[in-house]
Every structure is written in structure tokens, then in C-alpha cells.
Amino acid sequence: MSEIHIFSGHYGSGKTEIAVNFAIAQQKAGKNVTIIDLDTVNPYFRTGDLRNMLEDMGISVIAGRFASSNVDMPLAPAEVMRAFGNKGCFIFDVGGDEDGAYALGCYAGRLKKNGFEMHLVVNLRRPLTAAARDIMDIKRGIEAASRLEFTDIYNNTNLSAETDADTITSSVGELVELERLSGLKVVKHCGTKAALSDIEESKAFPMELYLKLPF
């Protein structure tokens, strides 16, 4: 069976940046990696925008050919089904909130049969996700729409270019509350190497920033 990782969360939480960095890390570890752009909501900051770079690295990309435009062609189900019939590491980049999770729900049965890890990406410096209870509402909506349950949490608390070590550590209190409410564990703190200077190495997920503003 394939190894499947799903990244989902609130709009603008940084799911795509994490999914791309995760794919690159898995490829460097010697795995056969495919990343699937299942974001049917946001035309910008899509995995498909980085298709050429990722393919040059040896990572397969399943995505519509019109990312970053107002023309959006849906993925053919047969393309996505490769995740369930081939060996390798498959990474799903899912659209924000329950609106984006409906597309994932189409594959719920096969995902449950195959096995998967579904990572809840959170940014506690965004207005609608600044508190654990707000994130819980989003979590429940995504799980209901996708008919799948999250397995862990990726903390991506940031202030874009102004992010520093204090930005990330400032989220600890609400993260503890989120762990209590959700029953899930924070397995990774995401950010640049400089911003992760105060984070235990085993829980740090250092990232390069690949996605750019479309203007």
C-alpha cells in the first residue's frame, strides 16, 4: 500500500508551503514522491504553481494545468487514483476549511482502506484561528466534509516575513489547549531555521519558502 499524507486546515494557514517542503524532504530521503494538488478553492498559492521546479527534483505532480488563473479544470479521478494503486509516498494538498475538504471526501473510502496521516495545519496569528476553540470549529467542519479524521497537528504560526522565534513560541499556550480539546498532538513546528531556534530539534520542521505573491 502507498504512504499517504494529507495537509488541511484553515484558508491561508500555509498548507501548500508545508506540503511542498514535506514532499521535497521525502524525496531527499529516497522515496518515490507524488504531490496531489486537490485545492479546488484558491486559484493562488497552489502546488501546481511549482510544477516545473518539483518535477525537476524528481517529484511527480498531479494538478490542474491552470493554477494561478481564473480557469480551473478539475483533476481527473483516474489521476488521483494512482495514490491507491501504486507504491510510493503520496501527498495531498487540500483546499481550506470544509469547502476544500469536500473534494477529499470523494476518496474517503479508499483512504481509510489504504491508511493515511492527516495533518491539521494551524496558524495562531491569523484572526479566525487565534484561539484553540476557533480551530476546533474548523477541524470539525473539515472532518465532517471529508469524512476523515485528523491524526496530528502541524504548528505553522507565523507573521510572514516578520516571523521570529518569539512568534512561534508565543503559540504554546493555545497549542496546549488545542491538544487537550482535540486529543491530537503537535508533532511539528514549522518555519525557517532561524525562527525555529528555540524549538526542540525532533519537533522542528525547517522550511524554505517557495511560494511567492502573484503580483
Tens-digit pLDDT profile for residues 43-96: 544 676 788 899 999 999 998 654 444 444 455 567 889 899 889 999 999 988
CA distance 75 to 67: 12
Report how far residue 123's alpha carbon sits from residue 131's, in angstroms, rounded to the nearest whole number: 10
* 7: number of Cβ within 10 Å: 27
Give the N- to C-terminal CA distance of the chain in Å, as an integer. Answer: 41
Domains of the chain by start residue, with CATH: 3-206 (3.40.50.300)
Return the pLDDT at 46: 62
Virtual torsion, Cα 122, 24, 83, 13, nearest 10 deg: 20
**What is the structure's pLDDT at 68?**
45
Cα–Cα distance, 120 to 14 (Å, whole number):
11
Q: Output the CA torsion 64→66→67→68 (10° steps).
A: -170
Beta bridge partners of residue 90, listed in sequence order = 4, 34
Place of cell 501546481: 48
Q: With a cut of 70, list the residues of the chain below it in pLDDT.
A: 40-46, 48, 64-77, 212-215
